[in-house]
Amino acid sequence: MKVSPYFLASSQTLRIALAIGIAALPIIMAALHIVHAGISKLPGTG
């Protein structure tokens, strides 16, 4: 079975992107929570 270098490179990139996404998820969630809390404190937003 022959695997192309392009496939290897793209799967490696995908794995790195996935790892970064998983690592950044709590940070993203926290940032969204802070933004949402800040917006809900503004008058006229309920």
The string of pLDDT tens digits covering residues 1-41 is 687 888 888 899 999 999 999 999 999 999 999 998 888 87
22 occurs within a structural domain = yes
In terms of pTM, does the model score above 0.75?
no
pLDDT computed for residue 9 by the predictor: 84
27 occurs within a structural domain = yes
5 occurs within a structural domain = no
Question: For the chain, what is the HEC assignment?
Answer: CCCCHHHHHHHHHHHHHHHHHHHHHHHHHHHHHHHHHHHHHCCCCC
For residues 45 and 39, is the Cβ–Cβ distance under 8 A?
A: yes
6 occurs within a structural domain = no
Residue 46 has pLDDT above 70, yes or no: no
12 occurs within a structural domain = no
